[in-house]
Every structure is written in structure tokens, then in C-alpha cells.
Structure 1
Amino acid sequence: MLVIRSIGNAAPRRALQLAAVALTVLTSLAGTAGSSLASSGTARSSPILVGEMRANRLAVIDPASGAVVGTLPAGVEHGVGHDPVGETTSPDGRQIYIADEEGSDVSVVDAAGGTVVATVHVGGGPTSVAFSPDGRQAYVTERAGIGVIDVATRRLVATIGDSSVPTTVEFRPDGLKAYALSRVGGSVAVIDTATDTITGTVTGLDVPSAMAVTRDSRQLFVANAGRRSVSIVDTATGTVTRTIGMNGAMPVGLVLAPDGSALYIASEVRKGLTEFNLRTQTVHILGLGGAVGPQQIQVSSDGRTAFLFEGTSILVFDTRTRSVTATIPLGLAANSITLSPNGRLIYAIRQLPGQQNVIAISTVTNAVTSTLQVSGKPVQLAFSGDSAHAFTVNATYRPPQPFETVSAIDTATGAVTDLPAAVGIVEGVAISPDGGKAYVADRLGSAVAVVDLRSGAVTRVIQVGSVPQGILASPDGRRVYVTNRDHKSVTVIDTATDAVAATVPSLCNSPGAMALSADGSTLYVGNSSTSWCIMRIDTATDTATMLSGSEGPTTGLVVGPHGTTLYAVYQSRIRIAGNGTGATEAVTRLVARNTTTHNVEWTRTVSTGGAQGGIAVSPDGRHLYIAQSATNSVWVFDVRTRRVTARIAVGAQPRAIAITHNGRQLYVTDFGSHSVSVIDTATGAVTETIQVGNDPDAVTLPGQLTGS
């Protein structure tokens, strides 16, 4: 039996219980596939199970025909978290990232479908998200610093330590640097995005509250709520070169004109708008005649119109004539406004008791067109890139504590749909050697559900450590090992009693990938975070020791068939020689260790671009197969010559590999293509491509690792 975990489309569903983490076999499968589910033998003769995580099911594939013959519903789905506090649209407009402060996660929402497609665990208390200009990285502010997410793989790849508690990040348009604002620390940290490190700090600020960077990346503007001024920072030196006084008015918003010609500064007290001309470096005070003073500014994409929010109304301001051309009354006071990317629609959110809603305004007619009810008090809103959907974060109260939800709005019809809250996420599946039981790791529930594959019944739910990431069955089937990333431990489950037999403290900060020796006497555990670490656990005594070396975050571990060598694939960064800039590039390294002495026998850099996939070894030990997400291929490595001998093109973003017991076939999950490629190892050709659920990212045979 072969198991593949993938992330399918999630249908909205309320009230999920922890037991729903388990897999329930459809009645229709009981007569047709039930007996074969428990069969043993090669992966090619028994059914292939494809875990579609967001679809809450396993798809059952007939290996002979490659057809999907049925499904096993899993009842586990992605949600938006319990405390979503900030949301940001990706540069291409296709994804919405939502920070969940309570759950320490970031939910990724498909802007077109309105469904949560992934959840990325970051540090404690994430509050805001900012995308790099090229859309490849997302910076997430959190209590201990800034988490860096690789957008393509939806994984946390680095954490930038910052004790000043940053609250927001602004990238330079050239993407070379980013700026992290800290109101508590009264400073702005300067981040080198090539190395993800803080290289300087802008000081001389007073309760900084907002930032904006010029199109040429030469100047950074910082609003000082305390000093009631705006500081101009030279980005080359990181120093304040000028301060724009606001004459006692508190700056509440900074917006750059799309053509880069001017900076607009809104201030409540002055009841006006300050324009700073970037070409002449001069200040102009623009009278508006409003009743309160602008609290927020939104500028159209052509730069010709600014929308100035005053609480109970919106002033339409012509930037060419510098005059108010219309006033849009909102009735009761609202809290903030958001302009759609196509410029045709403004959504204002209102948080008054009994009037917690979203007000839709047409910029064509400058009039309110409708009022939309959402679930709870809307606190933030973001549009999809095509303006077809908007998403609101809503605060509500569900005893015994406050709770937040996310609503999706169809901007054409005004229909509102609530996204489900997160309850469980399948992080991995291990199958017993006899094919009788499945052990399903639930990341959010910090549990493992035990499923009888013959009957489809959930026989037990076992509590393990926080954020289980990897799960692996021993060769004799007597034990199941679970790496708990945040708990920094390895849980040992006795499969005879389906109870926790031991908990081994991890010597690695974020235990993830695992590999067992052929006799099951030694368990190797790799680190999934940015720091290097590989440890070995004596399974007889459940004691751990650290292996020396300098490996980086491990994406795959495998023990050779003869039991003498441990192979590790890890990511590293090396300086690019000859360019004089000190820039680095990601590389994939392969390390071979002697399992007796645990010394490193050799190390090879097999490719540039880093690796997001796993590793498999042929039964004769002569070849290693390494998934290369960056090149959409599987690389064949000859152990004897220590060279890459072939590159096999597969689907988009291959992640994980499993090899059949006879070594004749490889199964590769194509994360970006939502498929599994079947490779004939004799010819190196892809013989079959099987469509499965969305984003498959793990595959295993009985006794092998899944979910890391």
C-alpha cells in the first residue's frame, strides 16, 4: 500500500471534532476496495492511498489502471485560525495571507475560490504580513521577530530575531531591503532580504506609526505619532535627513502617488491634507473643508483621485486640481475604507453595536450601493487581485472567550460566505507493515488518530506533543514514532496498545524528518528549521545523542539498504564567487555518514536553488533519487561515482519520493501539478501521471516516513 498526503479543496464546514481527524471509509468502498485495503505486497499490486488534506479524504487509486476508484473521507480541513488579526493580498492578487495571533499560524486563502489552501506555522503572536515585490517571500511580524515564508512552498524558511516587537514591514520596491517598524521600540529595523538579517536600525523616531518607500527606493518616510511629524530617511545610510513638521497635527496615514511624484499625509487635527512634492522636496497644505479631518487615504491606480476617509463620509479629491469634487455620506460612522484594485469599488467597515457591517460604495457614481452583513465585527478587509472577492476579519464572542472569523464577499453579487475555523490539519500518515492500520497525525490537535483500514473505524485518538510534523512506523510494526516540532520531542507509540510508550526530548529545535535503520535499532531525526541538527535515538533505551557536523535544515533522510550509510539532503547557502557583492545562493547538499562511527564520509553539492523534496535509495544501494522542486525534476545520484547521472522531468514542484520494494518504480508527488508521477527506474522515463488532490506533499510505503 502506498500513501500520499496532499492538500485538496476544503468545503466550508462548521463544528469539527477531534475525532474527525480520523479516516472513515465510504460505504461504497466496503465491498469493492475493503479487502484490498488491507492487502500486503508491493506498492504496485496494492491500492495507492492519496491523502487530500483539504478535501478531508484519501483517494484510492487502482495501481493497475491508474484510476481513482473511491475515497476515504478524513474530516480534517484547513481553516482560518482562532484569532486572525491581519490580512494581506499577494502581489499577483491570487492569495490572501491571514495572520492568526492566537494559533501562531498564517492561513493562505485562494482569492479566487475563497478557500483556505494552506496553514504555515510561524512564531508566537503573528500580527501582520508583507510580501516582497516579486511575491516570492512573505515577512510575518511576531513577538520575537519576523518569520520568512517561501510563498512557492508555503513553508517557514527563516526567522529574523528582533526583540523590539515589530508590528509592520515595508519592502523597498527593488526588494533589496525591508523595514520593520516597532512602536514599542520607537525604531525601524533595516533588513537585508538576501540574507534575512538585520543590518541596521533607524533611530531618532518618536512612536512611529506608518511607513512608505519611494519608487526609486532612495527614501523612506516614517510617520511619528508622538512628535507629530514625518521623518525622511536616506535608505543608503539609514539615517534621518529631514523632518516634516505637522504643526501639532498627528499624522495618521501616508500614501505615495502611483507615479511617485508626491507623498500625501493625512492628519485628523488639521482637517486637511499635506502634500510633499518629491521632485521639489516642498510641502503644500491642501484645505479640504471637511468636518473632522481625514483619518485614512486611498489613491486610485492612475493617481488622479484620492479618497479621504473622515469617519461619517468620504471626500473625493482630484490630485490635479487639488480640490474636493464630491462628498460621499456614509450615515453612521465607519472605521476604515479599502479601495478595490480595479478602482471601481470602496468597502467601508463599520463596527458600531448593532451596525457591524460592510458598506459598498461605487466610485463611478460616488454613492453607497449596499450594506453587507458579516459574522461579527469587521476589523480588517482585503480584496483579491481581480477585485472579484473581498475578505474581512471579524471579531465576535463565543463563550468562554473572544473569537475571530473570516468572511468572503462576492463583490459582483454581494453574497457573504464564512470560512471555517481551523480545527485539524493532517500532517502525516504512517501505515503498519501489514497494511491493517493507519496512524494519522493532526498538527492542530496535537494528536494521532488510529484507523482500522479493514473496517474504516477510528479505534483511538492519541495525544502527542505540540505540532506533530513527521510520523514513521518501525519495520516490525511494533512502534510508531512522531516528531513534535514545537514540543521539541519525539513521541513513541506502542502499536499493541496504541498508547504512548515514551517521550524522548529532542536535541534539535524543530525535529522533523526521520529515518530508521533496517533493524529498527536506531532512529535518525533531522531538524526542519534553519539551524543544523541531526540526532540519533537508541530505540531500545529511547535515549538521544547529537551527531557532529554542519548540516543545514534537513529535507530528507534515508538509510542505505545495507545499513552502513545514512544519507541526508539539506539546504544551505553559499557565497556567489566573483561578483564582489557578498550575495549568496541556495544550494542542495548531500551528506553521507557512516552509521557505525557516525562520521561524515563525504559531502556533495548536487544543485543550486535549494531543495524542497525528499530522498529515496535503490534496494541495491547504488542510486539515490532526490526531488528538485526548483527544476521540476528528480535527480539520479550514483553513489559509487558520487555524481548526478540523470535528471528526470516530472510535474511541477516535486516534493516526496517512495520507491517500490523491488526498486523498479518511483512514486513522486508533484505538489504544483496536483499529481503523482510514476517513474520506471530502468529507463528513467515517466510511465504514468496520476491526478490526485491538490498539493500532494508526502508519499510513503509501509514503514517509511510521511508528512515531512
Structure 2
Amino acid sequence: MNIIKYLILPAVLLTAGSCSHDPVYPSIGSLYVSTEPVGVEVLIDGQTQNRLTPAKIDGIPVGWHTISLRYYRCKEWSQRLEIKPGQTRNLIIRMPYVAPSVIQRFSLSYFGVDMDYAPQARKLFIANKSSIYLTELNLGDSTILYATSRLVGSWQYLVAASDQANRIYALINGDSLAVLELNSGTLLKKIPPPRHLGVKNLTFSPDGQFLYAANSADSSIFIFQTGSDTLIKSLKLDGEPNEIIGSPTNNDLYISFDKEKRLARRDAGTGAQLAATATGNAPRGLFWDLDHQNIGLCNSADRTLLVADAMGLGGAISPAFPYGTIVCDACYSANGTHLWVLQSYPTSTGGDPPPPPGRLALIYKPTWQFVGHYDLGSIPVKITQSSDGRFIYVLNYLGQDVMVFRTDLMN
């Protein structure tokens, strides 16, 4: 018995003296993605992985991540997914193809030359070159419900609308401005110009406090206070401005110069130039991306786009788009992955037969890939997008109508 005790004791002591620890698990996992179609870009938490499907991505930190898939002809796919230690998650996804469609074609009584959108009021306003009435289009959830004519008393050439200011400004004969109350459509006053200005563009500041008028013949910008509807300042420029757009994040103005082929960022208070970059021929159609970090414009005569960062204005010019003779307007899709581009002909184009229909092109922005085009009416001049990004409205000048597209880019 004693021998047995001595034999057992060392074993007990050995067991008591051994070390113990928690098991070690890896802090990373993997993801395998297979898609239809193949060649889809994979993003994790908004960052591209520089991989195209089918792809296995290793070294992903454990935890929840947003996995996004992008392909130029498809809707963006996105989902939250948990990556577990040492495991490979498998995704097999069939991407839904983009299929925009025309859902309405609303006839107009006059030749509309410019259009602006008031999203809160859910109204489109159209300047008519052949009527003393401004056209107001009232929108439902998706389509145009009915039109109302607002008396201006003169033909109109440009229009700008602001929910915040409760104002509509329209350029009329002799470079005068007609001022209407947005909600009621009442004509409030007409503002005569101090001299010939050659007004090319009207736009409101994002907060609605000011109306900016780009005067090409005068090489200036007029600033109107919308509360009193009076001219409060004139900024003298070193070129002929074509269009203006204000920044919603600071006091900057972005101005395209036609003859000088330049885009400039200037202080709205002093007019001082803060940055500038060269453009192509006939720059027009300024537009923002979704977070206002980049600004774009159409090099109309070149049929290209310029997209530049908002601060330094560094950027790149797209390849030339086929079809038409000009690119006259553009906007980002609401998900930020695509651009809608208006391909047209100059409004001076006439004769018999009339010019071919314009086209609405859909471009995948990361690679400038052409997704498709959609036929429009004769000489489209303006494009705008609903605030939720589900619908596009296109004004056809010679076609005398507004076309409503369901974008099919939003889930």
C-alpha cells in the first residue's frame, strides 16, 4: 500500500504543477464572394479592396462590417456581415441589373428653355421663351399631376427657385428680373438692370438668402438680398462668367468662365479667387456630388465632364461621350455611383427636318463606363432629380414636354 502511495504522489504533484491558459483565437477572418455577373468590385466599410469577383479576401478584422458590391450595369448591393475568427464567410450574390424607364411624358403649351426644382414644395418651374406665363408643374409621389400658369408679363429666359427664400426669380426681356412668391405664384416686382449685363445664369445661395446673377457682358456677379429683393452688391470679375453655384458648407462661389475656359472658387463676400482650374470648351451645367466634396461641370462643346475636388479644384476630365453635338447638363445619382448626362444639340439648331432626339446617358463614375442611353425629345436642355433620387425630370425644348424617368438605381 505504501508503494502505491509513493507511485501516485508524483503524478499528483506533476499535475498540480502544470500551467493552464485560455485558448488563443485569431483576430481575423476571410470573405469569399461569388457574383452573377462576374467582375464585380468588392468594398468593405466603404473602402475598395481592389478585387473583382470571384474573390477571396483574407485578413479582415473580426466583427461586423458593411460589405458592398458595385458593377457598372447593376444596382449597388450592400449588407452587414459578421466576420468570425479564423472562418471564411461565403457570399453568392446575383446582382440586379439597372433598368431605367420612362413613366410619363407631360406636354407643355410653350417652348421651355430653363427649369428649376423646389423639392419641399414639390414643384418644377419652367421659363418659357414664347409666353408671358411661367409654367409651374406640381408633382405627386412620382409623376407630374398638373400644370399652373403664373403671370410674368414677359417672355422668360432663365429661372431659379428656392424653398428657403419662398422666391422665384426669372430673367425677362432687357435683362430685367421678375420676382414671384414661390408658394402663391404672385408676381411681387420687376427689377430693371442698371445697364446691359448679358445675364447667363441665376442661382440661389443654398440657404436662400441671396440670388446670384452671372453677367457675361458686364464681367460681374450681382448679389440680390431675397428678403427685400434688392441688389446689395456687385462683384467685378476678371472674365466672363457663364454659370454660378454656391457651396452649402461655406461662403464660396464656384464660377465657370466661358471664353477663359476656367472654373474658379471665389469668396462670395470679397470676390477673391481661392482656387482655379482649366476646363474644356464651353463649360456649363455645374453640379455637386452627394457630400459636396466634388464639383462637376459639362465641357459642352467637347462632350466631356470635369469632376474636381471642391477645395483645390484638382480633378480629371472624362472621355468624350458619343452622340449629339453637346453635353449640356448632368447630375449624380442619389447613391453616388453613377452620373446622368444630357446629350443634346444647340437650341439654335432648327430647319427641316428637326435634329435627332437627344439622349440621357447613364455613366458609371468610378471607371467612366457607359451603362446605356435613353432616347429623349427634341433638344433637351435641362435635367433635375427628385430629392430621394428615384426620379429624373428632363425638359425638352423643341419637343415641348417634360419626361419623367424612374432611375431604378435606388433599392
- If the TM-score is normalised by the length of the shorter chain, which range does it land in? 0.5 to 0.7
User: Helix, strand or coil for the counterpart of 2:297?
Assistant: strand
Give matches, 1:303-322, under 5 Å: none
Q: What's 1:56 paired with?
A: 132
Counterpart code for 1:50: I
Counterpart of 1:505? 236
The alpha-carbon distance between structure 1 residues 624 and 520, as it changes in their structure 2 partners (threshold 3 A), is farther
CA distance in 2, matches of 1:659, 1:51: 18
Equivalent residue for 2:64? none
By how many angstroms is 1:484 displaced? Answer: 0.8
| Residues 1:547 and 2:262 are matched in the alignment | no
CA distance in 2, matches of 1:602, 1:51: 31
Q: Cα gap change, 1:536/1:620 in structure 2, threshold over 3 Å: closer, same or farther? A: same
Per the TM alignment, residue 649 of structure 1 is displaced from its structure 2 partner at its CA by 1.5
What is the Cα deviation at residue 589 of structure 1?
Answer: 1.2
In the alignment, the residues of structure 2 paired with residue 517 and residue 610 of structure 1 have an alpha-carbon distance, to the nearest angstrom, of 30
- In structure 2, list runs of 5 or more residues that go unmatched: 1-105, 346-356
Paired residue type of 2:256 = G
Q: 2:130 aligns to what SS in structure 1?
A: helix
Q: Deviations over 1:186-211 (max 9, x none)?
A: xxxxxxxxxxxxxxxxxxxxxxxxxx
1:656, CA displacement in angstroms? Answer: 0.9
Quickly say closer, same or farther: Cα 1:455–1:513, change in 2 above 3 A: closer
Q: Which consecutive residues of structure 1, in runs of 5 or more, have no partner in the other structure?
A: 11-38, 78-425, 573-586, 685-708
After superposition, give the CA deviation of every residue in 1:407-431 in whole Å (9 maximum; x if it has no partner): xxxxxxxxxxxxxxxxxxx231111
1:8 lines up with 2:110 in the alignment: yes
Residue equivalent to 1:70: 148
Is the 8 Å Cα contact of residues 59 and 68 (structure 1) preserved in structure 2? no
Q: Deviations over 1:422-448 (max 9, x none)?
A: xxxx23111122362111223x42222
**Number of residue-to-residue matches in the alignment:** 285
Please provide the CA RMSD for this pair.
3.0
Tell me the equivalent position of 2:371: 645
Corresponding residue for 1:598?
313
3-state DSSP class of the match of 1:607?
coil
Superposition pairs for residues 206-221 of structure 1, below 5 Å? none
Comparing 462-471 and 671-680, the one that deviates more: 462-471
Which residue number in structure 1 is paired with residue 255 of structure 2? 525
In 2, are the aligned partners of 1:589 and 1:603 still within 8 Å (CA)?
yes
> 2:385 aligns to what?
659
Verify the 8 A CA contact 1:513 1:525 in the aligned structure 2. yes
Aligned: 1:480 with 2:211: yes
Aligned to 1:452: 181
Q: Check conservation: 1:526, 1:553, Cα contact below 8 A.
A: no
Cα gap change, 1:547 to 1:622, in 2 (>3 Å)? same
Shift of 1:523: 1.4
In the alignment, which residue of structure 1 is the partner of 2:100?
none
Aligned-partner Cα distance in 2 for 1:473–1:7: 27
Q: Which SS does the other structure have where 2:224 is aligned?
A: strand
Q: How does 1:392-411 map to 2 (within 5 A)?
A: none
Distance 1:613 1:9 in 2: 17
Residue 437 of structure 1: aligned partner: 167
Change (3 A) 1:550 1:60: closer
Q: CA deviation at 1:556?
A: 1.3
TM-score, with structure 1 as normaliser = 0.37
| 1:607-622 map, 5 Å | 607=322, 609-622=324-337
SS in 2 for 1:625: strand
Aligned with 2:163: secondary structure?
Answer: coil
| Paired residues for 1:362-401 under 5 Å | none
Q: Distance in 2 between matches of 1:645 and 1:462?
A: 46
SS at match of 1:552: coil
Please state how far the C-alpha of 1:463 moved relative to its aligned partner.
Answer: 2.8
Question: Structure 1 vs Structure 2: percent identity of aligned residues?
Answer: 17
Q: Secondary structure of 1:445's match?
A: helix
**1:490 pairs with 2:221:** yes
Would the alpha carbon gap of residues 7 and 549 (structure 1) be closer, same or farther in structure 2, given more than 3 Å must change?
A: farther
Q: Is the 8 A contact 2:287 2:331 kept in 1?
A: yes
Deviations 1:93-144 (A, max 9, x none): xxxxxxxxxxxxxxxxxxxxxxxxxxxxxxxxxxxxxxxxxxxxxxxxxxxx
Structure 2 residue matching 1:605: 3-state secondary structure: coil
* Kept in 1: contact 2:179–2:189 (CA 8 A): yes
Q: Is 2:276 aligned against 1:561?
A: no
Measure, in 1, the Cα distance between the counterparts of 2:385 and 2:158: 18
Equivalent AA in structure 2 for residue 473 of structure 1: F
Question: Contact (CA 8 Å) 2:167, 2:180: kept in 1 or not?
Answer: yes
Please give the alpha-carbon distance, in whole angstroms, between the structure 2 residues aligned to 1:434 and 1:48: 15
Q: 1:521 to 1:485 in 2, by over 3 A?
A: same
Classify the secondary structure of the residue corresponding to 2:164: coil
1:487–1:606: structure 2 CA closer, same or farther, 3 Å change rule? same
Rg larger in structure: 2
Judged with a 3 Å threshold, the aligned counterparts in structure 2 of structure 1 residues 595 and 532 are, in CA distance, closer, same or farther, namely same
Q: Distance in 2 between matches of 1:615 and 1:67?
A: 25
Alpha-carbon distance change, 457 to 567 in structure 1, aligned in 2, over 3 angstroms: closer
Contact 1:666–1:680 (CA<8 Å) still a contact in 2?
yes
TM-superposed deviation, 1:570 = 0.6
Match of 1:141 in 2: none
How far off its partner does 1:564 sit?
1.6
CA distance in 2, matches of 1:517, 1:567: 13
Question: Contact 2:235–2:270 (CA<8 Å) still a contact in 1?
Answer: no
What SS class does the counterpart of residue 487 from structure 1 fall into? coil
Cα deviations by residue, 1:552-593 (Å, 9 ceiling, x for unpaired): 111311121222211121135xxxxxxxxxxxxxx4111121
Find 1:427's aligned residue among 150, 157, 160.
157
Equivalence for 2:197: 466
Matches of 1:40 and 1:535, distance apart in 2: 26
